Amino acid sequence: MKKLVSICVVLCLVLSCCLCSCCAGGDPVEKNKAVVSNDKYRNFYQIWIGSFCDSNNDETGDIPGIISKLDYLNDGKPDEGDDLGIDGIWLSPMMPSYSYHKYNVEDYFNIDKDFGTLDDFDTLIAECDKRGIEVIIDLVVNHSASTHPYFKKACEELKEGKEDGYAKYYRFKKGSSPTYSRRVKDTDYFYEGAFSFEMPDWNLSYQGTRDYFEEIVKFWLDRGVDGFRLDAVKYFSDEETDGEEFLSWFYNMAKKYNENVYMVGEDWDDSGKVYDMYKSGIDSLFNFKFANTDGVYVSTARSGQTKDMAAQLKKYNGNILKRNEKAINANFLTNHDMVRVANMLDEDENKFAAALYMLSPGNSFTYYGEEIGIEAPNTTNDASYRTAMIWDNDELPDIYVNGVAEVTKNELGGVKQQLEQKDSMLNFYRRLIKIKNQNPEIARGEITDTLDFEDGKIGGYKVEYNGTTLLVIHNGNREEKEVTLTDEMAANPELRGYVVATNTVASEENADKSAQNTTAGEVKLNSKTLTLPPLSSVVIKAK
Ligand code: CA
């Protein structure tokens, strides 16, 4: 019996080897090994907790729901390829708050009861640890809820004329002005609330406020959080506070408790101001110039002008590295404040846009549902950008966002349907992340040069890291192109991986489109000649 079993095992091994080499063909992505990240360079995935997965059927997603879906995100087996492969999670706000979005925090030391408990959170951290996923949490430092106990106490004290107690934590003044426009009931005091009267701005120059945030940071780092996504960085500056100084203080304070803490800031501002904010020393600031409807990635996915994109990316990265040599660009297409990218682009363009931002040096932030092309049901309110994740088109979730049910079938299929389709959006994303994990130089490297192929729609750049040079090349043309690599680009080029955005699912809905894509197919590298299908992206090792 034992002998029979071992013969079977050998037969199976031989068979599977044959199968592997057959189906692998020339595809390097099937053969290359993933490198597991142990630094700050990650493929992040942003989870809007209330919309992701509901574990207890109360119509709101929760932390146990996230835990139940971790294997979908990363099962801890980097080379088995049946997960998305992300290795970082950004959790949208989760602390107690009466609003559905939780950006007005009432208690910085707990989990909102809609989402679970601190025990659930500890389990999430432990399960993420097992899988090599780092977790960063959204931290709202600019303002609290008007129902935060400190603000309530401050307002009570001001009614008695007491200005030197809790009032020092916030920004109050007698008499109104454009900045101090919200009145404290029954007093002559007004306060700063950049976003709304329900969100009073903290006084970030006051040492007491800084001490309070130090406690908060320590509390969450002690619980195993790996870092923070800092909300509303642009608003840190006021009459007394220098935003850059505050951010620098905040980052260095957190480093006292975890020297590897990772921080990414939401500084939704002009690029020049973002560049300068990198002087604070913070690891990352979101690259808003390249994101959203008019951003470089979406515009390039539409126009195909990848040569120009490569030049802009080199310039942007150069500018942030000038301010902070350890800066990590934070690339993304959309987040919870933006219309879904699937509303802006068709499936091919959407895939191409994914390749453009994922293959840019730095960290990538994928907004949940982008990997299956979820569309916003309308483009007029924030809640519609935050609708439920569609796990199965045939079993839509009963998740309500801000009290409104807006869940409809996803045009491209739910997760379940897309897993079964070789060329689905989801499998495109999985392949992209696999390529990134097999070629760690893409994220970590510096763009040292752009590549000129005398075609504005074929663009690329050289990325150098630790003695390795990679070429990232995108064909933004709607037709197949052949280009020649010069000796200067790569003496002995090796194909490391590629994606083809025009390889779409031949479903009934897009049968017409597939028929047009007659040239869609595979990237080929024959000596120095590179064949690029329409809307394709390739990674080549130069030496
Ligand atoms: Ca729930």
Q: For 239-263, how does the pLDDT look when each residue is reduced to its tens digit (9 = 90+)?
A: 999 999 999 999 999 999 999 999 9
Q: Is the dihedral of CA 381, 396, 81, 505 positive or negative?
A: negative
From ligand 1's centre to the CA of 431, what distance in Å?
Answer: 31
Choice among 12-26, 158-172, 398-412, 443-457 with the minimum mean pLDDT: 12-26
pLDDT of residue 10: 45
Write the pLDDT tens digit of every residue in 46-73. 999 999 999 999 999 999 999 999 999 9
Choice among 43-47, 253-257, 505-509 with the minimum mean pLDDT: 505-509
From ligand 1's centre to the CA of 115, what distance in Å?
Answer: 6
The residues, any chain, with a CB within 8 Å of residue 216's CB and separated by 6 or more, are 108, 109, 139
From ligand 1's centre to the CA of 65, what distance in Å?
Answer: 7
Long-range Cβ pairs for the range 523-526 (8 Å, 24+):
523/495, 523/498, 524/26, 525/493, 525/494, 525/495
From ligand 1's centre to the CA of 413, what distance in Å?
Answer: 23
Measured CA to CA, the distance from residue 469 to residue 446 in angstroms comes to 10
The residue with tokens 């987040």 is 335
From ligand 1's centre to the CA of 262, what distance in Å?
Answer: 29
- Residue 381: which pLDDT band, with cuts at 50, 70 and 90? confident
pLDDT score of 131 more than 60: yes
pLDDT score of 474 more than 80: yes
- Residue 78: which pLDDT band, with cuts at 50, 70 and 90? confident
Percent of the chain with pLDDT over 70: 92
The residues, any chain, with a CB within 8 Å of residue 65's CB and separated by 6 or more, are 52, 53, 54, 55
From ligand 1's centre to the CA of 363, what distance in Å?
Answer: 30
Write the pLDDT tens digit of every residue in 203-240. 999 999 999 999 999 999 999 999 999 999 999 999 99
Tell me if 430 sits within 8 A of 84, measured CB to CB. Answer: yes
Tell me if 287 sits within 8 A of 361, measured CB to CB. Answer: no
From ligand 1's centre to the CA of 467, what distance in Å?
Answer: 49
From ligand 1's centre to the CA of 168, what distance in Å?
Answer: 38
Tell me if 508 sits within 8 A of 460, measured CB to CB. Answer: no
Measured CA to CA, the distance from residue 513 to residue 506 in angstroms comes to 8
pLDDT score of 7 more than 70: no
Residue of higher predicted confidence among 378 and 438: 438
From ligand 1's centre to the CA of 397, what distance in Å?
Answer: 11
- Residue 18: which pLDDT band, with cuts at 50, 70 and 90? very low
pLDDT score of 9 more than 80: no
- Residue 379: which pLDDT band, with cuts at 50, 70 and 90? confident
pLDDT of residue 378: 87
Measured CA to CA, the distance from residue 388 to residue 50 in angstroms comes to 8
Residue 427 bridge partners (DSSP): none
- Residue 400: which pLDDT band, with cuts at 50, 70 and 90? confident
Choice among 19-33, 361-375, 378-392 with the minimum mean pLDDT: 19-33
Q: Which residues are catalytic?
A: 231, 266
pLDDT score of 513 more than 80: no
Residue of higher predicted confidence among 520 and 169: 169
Write the pLDDT tens digit of every residue in 258-311. 999 999 999 999 999 999 999 999 999 999 999 999 999 999 999 999 999 999
Question: Does pTM surpass 0.85?
Answer: yes
From ligand 1's centre to the CA of 30, what distance in Å?
Answer: 38
Long-range Cβ pairs for the range 310-316 (8 Å, 24+):
310/447, 310/450, 310/451, 310/459, 310/460, 310/461, 310/474, 311/450, 311/459, 313/360, 313/447, 313/461, 314/447, 314/449, 314/450, 314/461, 316/271, 316/287, 316/289, 316/290
pLDDT of residue 534: 96
